Amino acid sequence: MTSKTKLWLTLALSLTLSGMTHAADSITPTAKDPNLWLENIDGPKQLDWVKMQNAETVKTYADSAEFKQLDARLLEVLDSNARIPMVSKIGDYFYNFWRDKDHPKGLWRRTTLDEYRKDKPNWETVIDLDALAASEKENWVWHGADCLKPAYRRCLVALSRGGADASVIREFDLADKQFVKGGFDLPEAKSVVNWMDADRVYVATDFGPGSMTKSSYPRIVKEWKRGTPLSSATVVYEAKDDDMSVSAARDNTPGFERDFVYRQLAFYDSETYVRGKDGKLTKIDAPNDANVDVHREWLLIEPRSDWSVGGKTYKSGSLLAAKFDDYMAGKRDITVLFEPSDTTALDAYSWTRHHLILNVMDNVVNRLEVLTPGPGAWARAPLGGAPALSTIAAGGVDDDTSDAYFLTVTGFLQPTTLYYGVLNQGDGQAIKHSPSFFDASKFDVSQHFATSKDGTRVPYFEIAPKNLKADGSNPTLQYGYGGFEVSLQPAYSGSVGRAWLEKGGVYVIANIRGGGEYGPRWHKAALKANRLRAYEDFAAVSQDLIARKITSPQHLGAMGGSNGGLLMGNMLTLYPQFYGAIVSQVALLDMQRYTHLSAGASWIAEYGDPDKPEEWTWIKTFSPYFNAKAGEKYPPVLFTTSTRDDRVGPVHARKMAAKLESLGYNTSFYENIEGGHGAAADNKQAAFMSALGYTYLWDHVK
């Protein structure tokens, strides 16, 4: 797993809020905001308001026979038993978490490789989440498991109530298929727990007052021994209040056992320390904004800014390698494994036992390379191939013991195919095929480039009927994200196909700045004071679609979630003239108070700190809640969110909907009581939320 992947999994998934944030408790008496009362997330008055809004939205958009048919067809996609059950290897077995009609909460199950390669594998259930939830009267949502190698018998299982980020941690025995009585258990909190050995773990969690950072993440990491109370755990490291978080982990790779402490200074800045047997910490000397990864004898560094070291300068977005022990001893013999160009960026990398697989994007389209360390330069060879405008990705199956890999190929009109192979043993073989959920032969995929306000070329993908008439009348859905260095790449979606394309609509993905499509430089171009560049890019794509007569404002809808929901809020308030309707999902919207709501303080590195007057000066230019005003020609807008979203929180959507409603605008709102930041705790809820968004847009732009 790459360091970038580890960072995202740790910060975006595992580091979770310990319960709902009642931000209204910290409001000063002089604050002027008539909608502050909606910040009490679980208050009875507030939930009554939510239920009233939900009822009105359901009555208007989700109560027709047509909606119910779409809802059922989307659920059919999500519940399909023909989907590819993606797996990960744990010990001798391949594990998969699976939801379908009969198991809405899901099964954690396993099989052998020989069985997995069959059309219908024989699966062994390890944990039946539906049965567990029923017996314990809890709405458990699966949050994953971390198992101790090399035996892989004991695991730390994370379970969420209702889909919130906050998790309960329980120790589980894979041989007995039972939770361990008296094992390592933690109550609901945002916990990062990693194995040291069979009787010790590193734990970062809410230890009580003073143990959390201002970003609401763990400030202290401790070493906890089996059979002792958590209160007796010994401190390994204490971060500062202004840091984002801290955690620790042991690499149990035989022959390369090492302990690490990770101090997250901000979302993109961190320090990694090696922890000696005496407890002494030695910092890995790399830039704070670089991603650092240690694998066996190798140290990999991805600088996010140009880095000068050892008399040489390495480009931002490069991948660099050095021998770990030599580097820690002061040597700076560094090999460049990847260097970006104007059109390329490193998307990901993955180790096998003897090789490193690089996933490179060139104008947002993938290619794979296999690198093999050896004397002097690393050897290079291509891996696989993919059709035009598709996504190809590969990852090692078990980087301790084999050079086996899984490879997937997918595209907007191409259902995913899964290959299995072993490097240097011929081509991989296709072993799984995802089903088709719509007739792709009726559509074409093309890539285009719009010119943004400052002259930047912005790529976008267009999926449209082959017989498309460029007369400006085509219902078009434009989707975007534009933040946190996240790339939007070609991928098959049965839901998009059924809900939009089959009806004759055009679907567009905008690869705007703020994302990672061209590496760190593309992301940094829309950070903080430059945030408006992302919105200018999205507007430029809209203008290009209109200029090409693919669509027109009354037929153009826009959709985005989370940071993309903030994008939608800004398209509403800054560029309302381009859209016939907008859907904003699980969004940030009140950028004046976002650092005081749920996990908002952790994103200051992305947006800035509104509590600093000099930064609020430019943050307010992209705060939809602040900028919404009367007398504008805003298009109809739907806000969707979840009560159990303890990452962004439902407060933003509630307040924005209430403000727009008070100003007389056509505003709709729906808050799923469960679901967390994904706004859905199971496939049935996910299908409903998707059907609601697509139906809303279609009704307004058709």
Q: What is the pLDDT of residue 31?
A: 54
The closest of 255, 266, 211 to 233, measured between CA atoms, is 211
The closest of 682, 676, 661 to 57, measured between CA atoms, is 661
Alpha carbons 14 and 158: distance in angstroms, whole number = 9
CB atoms under 10 Å from CB of 462, counted, come to 23
Two structure tokens written together for 639: 């806000």
SS (H, E, C) 564-620: HHHHHHHHHHHCHHHCCEEEEECCCCCCCCHHHCCCHHHHHHHHCCCCCHHHHHHHH
Q: Which of 143, 355, 555, 677 is catalytic?
A: 677
Q: How do strand 344-351 and strand 154-161 relate by DSSP bridges?
A: unpaired
Two structure tokens written together for 661: 């409603």
273 falls in which pLDDT band (50, 70, 90)? very high
> Position 177: which residue type?
K
Nearest 5°: CA angle at 150, between 149 and 154?
A: 50
Beta bridge partners, 369, equal 358, 382
pLDDT at 97 over 70: yes
Helix, strand or coil for residue 13? helix
Residue 668 and residue 635 in contact, taking contact as beta carbons nearer than 8 Å: no
Q: What is the pLDDT of residue 443?
A: 98
Percent of the chain clearing pLDDT 70 (strictly above): 95
Q: What is the pLDDT of residue 583?
A: 98
**Residue 155: what are its φ and ψ, rounded to 5°?**
-130, 155
Helix, strand or coil for residue 468? coil
Predicted confidence (pLDDT) per residue in 484-537, tens digit: 999 999 999 999 999 999 999 999 999 999 999 999 999 999 999 999 999 999
Q: What is the pLDDT of residue 681?
A: 82
Alpha carbons 494 and 78: distance in angstroms, whole number = 9
Residue 407 CB-density burial (10 A; 0-12 exposed, 13-18 middle, 19+ buried): buried
> Position 186: which residue type?
L
Two structure tokens written together for 195: 């194995």
Mean pLDDT computed over 268-286: 97
Q: Which of 562, 584, 598, 623 is catalytic?
A: 562
Two structure tokens written together for 7: 């960072």
Mean pLDDT computed over 52-60: 98
Q: What is the pLDDT of residue 13?
A: 32
Predicted confidence (pLDDT) per residue in 361-411, tens digit: 999 999 999 999 988 789 999 997 767 888 999 999 999 999 999 999 999
Alpha carbons 74 and 72: distance in angstroms, whole number = 5
Helices (H) and strands (E) in the chain, counts: 15, 39
| Helix orientation angle between 683-701 and 44-61, rounded to the nearest 10 degrees | 60
CB atoms under 10 Å from CB of 210, counted, come to 9
Q: What is the pLDDT of residue 646?
A: 87
| Domains present along the chain, CATH in parentheses | 41-61+437-701 (3.40.50.1820), 340-435 (no CATH)
**Residue 678: what are its φ and ψ, rounded to 5°?**
-80, -5
Predicted confidence (pLDDT) per residue in 180-232, tens digit: 999 999 999 999 999 999 999 999 999 999 998 988 889 999 999 999 999 99
Look-up of token digits 């509590």: 611
Look-up of token digits 């990999």: 300
**Residue 316 is among the residues annotated as catalytic for this protein:** no
pLDDT at 615 over 80: yes
Predicted confidence (pLDDT) per residue in 448-492, tens digit: 999 999 999 999 999 999 999 999 999 999 999 999 999 999 999
Look-up of token digits 């700076």: 332
Residue 639 and residue 587 in contact, taking contact as beta carbons nearer than 8 Å: yes
**Residue 677 is among the residues annotated as catalytic for this protein:** yes
Residue 325 CB-density burial (10 A; 0-12 exposed, 13-18 middle, 19+ buried): exposed
Contacts of 185 (CB under 8 A, 6+ apart): 168, 169, 170, 171
Q: What is the pLDDT of residue 549?
A: 98
